């Protein structure tokens, strides 16, 4: 070997390199942990995670269950998609219900005009991890999403309270991951750490992966709150000065109906979404997530408590 022309043939595209890295991470977790689980929200990142897991273990079935932390404030289109996708993969679905956490008195619902259950999910998630004794929890978070996440490891150690300690993280070198932990502790694993929003959409296009319909432009009745377009739905109360109107929108992220904003868009294909994403001047979270706007450090604070 050695000639430039020859070596040049052995070069991966950026999506191939990212895929190879994510598959490596997933296999490593399955080999070293006893009870992994993959968090699945139905959002585009978790849809890509499922495809990567299929690739990592094919032709065997997924060697772990998938879990949805269900806030009860979901988009119905996303729940329908979740159930169909899980059935196609013949995967085992576990549902951790925030409503059950509320009913059993573990957490208290927010009575405000957009009653976010975002923060409540943390308790439900941690309870489910304890109940099922999960020791590795795959999440679809990416480092380009948010600046606290930009500092998080691929293997993110959580103590017995599920807490993240950003100042005391394990160095990660050469893709040699250290998943050692004691009983009761667990590792959050983020195989998409190095992917960007654009990479995700390019991969969805390349692989022709189906995503929930709300990612594509559709007619919806919305109203403006804090500079975001929120869908009119049974979980939010429209205030006097808020005027609902119908327009063409799509979603850039999938979260609760109470806190996930839509963007005005006419993109009806993945290629049109890619074109929009490539020129967007707002991050997906800045544009569409009320939960991240509370303070400069709201993501860091929630992550410290054990959030995704």
Partner 1 sequence: MELLRFATAGSVDDGKSTLIGRLLYDSKAIFEDQLEAVERLSRQRGDEYTDLALLTDGLRAEREQGITIDVAYRYFATPLRKFIIADTPGHIQYTRNMVTGNSTADLTLVLVDARKGIVEQTRRHAFLASLLRVPHLLVCVNKMDLVDYDEAVFTRIREEFKAFATRLEVTDLAFIPISALHGDNVVQRSLNMTWYEGPSLLHHLEQVYIASDRNLIDPRLPVQWVVRPTASTVPDFRGYAGRVAGGVFRPGDEVMVLPSGLTTTIAAIDTFDGPVDEAFAPMSVMVRLAQDLDVSRGDLICRPHNQPTVGQDIDAMMCWMADRPLAEGDVVALKHTTRWVRAQVRHVHYSLDVNTLHRDDSANVLRLNDVGRVSLRVTQPLFYDSYRRNRFTGSFVVAAEDTNATVGAGMILGAG
Question: Which residues lie near partner 1 (CB under 8 A)?
Answer: 1-2, 4, 7-8, 10-14, 16-21, 23-24, 27-28, 30-31, 54-61, 143-144, 146-151, 166-167, 169-176, 178, 180-182, 193-194, 196, 198-199, 279-283, 286-287, 296-297, 300
CB of 278 to partner 1, least distance (A): 8
Nearer to partner 1, 174 or 234 (CB): 174
CB of 131 to partner 1, least distance (A): 24
Nearer to partner 1, 19 or 70 (CB): 19
Rounded-to-integer distance, Cα 126 and Cα 269, Å: 37
Per-residue CA distances from 58 to 29, 54, 103 (Å): 16, 6, 40
CB of 50 to partner 1, least distance (A): 12
Nearer to partner 1, 182 or 219 (CB): 182
CB of 75 to partner 1, least distance (A): 23
CB of 280 to partner 1, least distance (A): 7
CB of 31 to partner 1, least distance (A): 5
CB of 10 to partner 1, least distance (A): 5
Nearer to partner 1, 107 or 191 (CB): 191
Q: Are the C-beta atoms of residues 156 and 169 closer than 8 Å to each other?
A: yes
Nearer to partner 1, 112 or 175 (CB): 175
Nearer to partner 1, 69 or 229 (CB): 229
B/e letters for 151-170, b = 16+ CB within 10 Å, e = fewer, are ebbbbbbbeeebebeeeeee
Rounded-to-integer distance, Cα 168 and Cα 305, Å: 15
Select from 32, 105, 45 the least CA-distant residue to 253: 45
Nearer to partner 1, 70 or 144 (CB): 144
Sheet containing strand 136-138, edge to edge, reads: 93-97, 66-70, 36-39, 136-138, 186-189, 155-158
CB of 248 to partner 1, least distance (A): 22
183: CB partners within 8 A, 6+ apart: none
Nearer to partner 1, 8 or 105 (CB): 8
The burial of 94, by beta-carbon neighbours within 10 Å (0-12 exposed, 13-18 middle, 19 or more buried), is given as middle
CB of 259 to partner 1, least distance (A): 16
Nearer to partner 1, 113 or 227 (CB): 227
């Amino acid at each position: 070997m050695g000639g430039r022309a020859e070596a040049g043939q052995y070069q991966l595209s950026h999506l191939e390199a990212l895929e190879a890295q994510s598959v490596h991470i997933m296999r490593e977790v399955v080999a070293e942990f006893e009870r992994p689980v993959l968090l699945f929200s139905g959002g585009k990142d978790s849809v890509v995670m499922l495809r990567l897991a299929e690739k990592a273990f094919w032709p065997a079935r997924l060697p772990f269950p998938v879990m949805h932390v269900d806030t009860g404030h979901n988009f119905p289109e996303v729940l329908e998609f979740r159930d169909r996708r899980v059935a196609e993969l013949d995967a085992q679905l576990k549902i951790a219900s925030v409503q059950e956490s509320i009913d059993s008195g573990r957490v208290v619902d927010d009575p405000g005009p957009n009653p976010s259950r975002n923060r409540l999910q943390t308790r439900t998630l941690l309870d489910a991890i304890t109940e099922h004794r999960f020791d590795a929890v795959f999440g679809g978070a990416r480092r380009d999403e948010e600046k606290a996440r930009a500092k998080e490891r691929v293997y993110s150690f959580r103590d017995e309270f599920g807490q993240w300690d950003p100042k005391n993280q394990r160095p990660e070198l050469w893709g040699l991951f250290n998943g050692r932990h004691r009983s009761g502790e667990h590792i959050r694993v983020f195989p998409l750490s190095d992917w960007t929003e654009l990479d995700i959409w390019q991969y969805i296009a390349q692989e022709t992966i189906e995503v929930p319909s709300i990612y594509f432009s559709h007619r919806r009745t919305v109203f403006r709150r804090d500079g975001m377009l929120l869908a009119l739905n049974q979980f939010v109360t429209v205030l006097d000065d808020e005027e609902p109107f119908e327009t063409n929108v799509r979603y850039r992220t999938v979260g609760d109906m109470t806190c996930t904003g839509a963007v005005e868009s006419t993109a009806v294909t993945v290629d049109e979404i890619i074109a929009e994403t490539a020129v967007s001047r707002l991050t997906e979270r800045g544009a569409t997530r009320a939960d991240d706007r509370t303070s400069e450090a709201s993501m860091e604070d929630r992550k410290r408590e054990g959030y995704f």
